[in-house]
Structure 1
């Protein structure tokens, strides 16, 4: 089973997003638009859109804004959203991978580069840190009365790679390519899960609390940008670091 650091990193990102509700709305709506552009407006045939709509509803995004985002993604208003990624290093050699959705690539590039520069990081070329991460589908849901062994056997049919728990929730992981299959299996079992596509570091680096704070300053300012959807890094989120936040 996967180690503590993976769960801590995912939990940290989720907590950071939950703390920024207004910006979270913007990010969720963009994700609906881009998912529509990528796979079409029918959520039954588009797992990414189905996930985006579900996550938007969980965050209480109004129905009309979700429908408007689907319309945008279909090209009905002339807006073009592009998936863009950025790679680089935070202080102390921590690898950083940024996923963004933008209607103005020049603006987004300039902004992200300025964050790296201001907070003592360095933005690298495409491929400079990508190889350090594996793209995975992540599903988080309450343990409830589920028997872990029985649940694991059921989810293996949907492409499950790994399942662990933190005492309250299960976290199920699958390959990026199996996201749609595992999502369908979880829905078939009647489980209400939060889901996302994540980049999991193959290895993590440990820092002391003070060094970690300089990394988290950069992560926070990047996450705060309206165009940025998710930020991934390979710093181990130890209990000491989490407590210091």
Structure 2
């Protein structure tokens, strides 16, 4: 039986989750602070605009930590084990910026959605039959705001997919133009060195290798106490080599 493809116009479940979570967190913080004095707005406005992005940043960090810990402990017999660990390495190399980006996205989408709603609200309620009907502004807002946030999150996903597809095609196309020499010049030297298989691991009284730094983690599962060397250098504990820190397996 052929599995139907996902409709191109319909957002993914993760976009629905993010959009409705953002809207509900906005409503929660908006209703959690009573406004009995004009000065209370000085507390309310920063809270309802900054608290949801900070909350998204925290939960993104928490979920990413749990997922990474689960992947690290996966047995090697799991299907697509190599691809899963390659994905994990790419996420770890992105650093803490990916968590901050989630919060920044929430702030941008929240601001854009609210500005768009302000414009649509004025436009809709200038129509006579809408203004005279029993449809409330609150009812329309409860539908418009989360759905708009969902589609904005989906647009962000579509853009990332388009960029990833473009990068994959360029890597597979040998006739593609060479990379910008300026970008190549600023590429860290350590990142280039990681691609060279010149690392050895001391196992069972003998040297095993050579491996790349990534293979030290994927194949040898090195820990901070594992003895390694680069080329013909002296043996060292992996935990003493700063450039191998992100490749260590926690035990």
TM bucket, shorter chain: under 0.3
Q: Which has the higher contact order (CA 8 A, sep 6+)?
A: 1
* The structure with more strand, counted as a fraction of residues: 1
What TM-score does the superposition give when structure 2 sets the normalisation length?
Answer: 0.27
Structure 1 or 2, whichever has the larger Rg, is 2
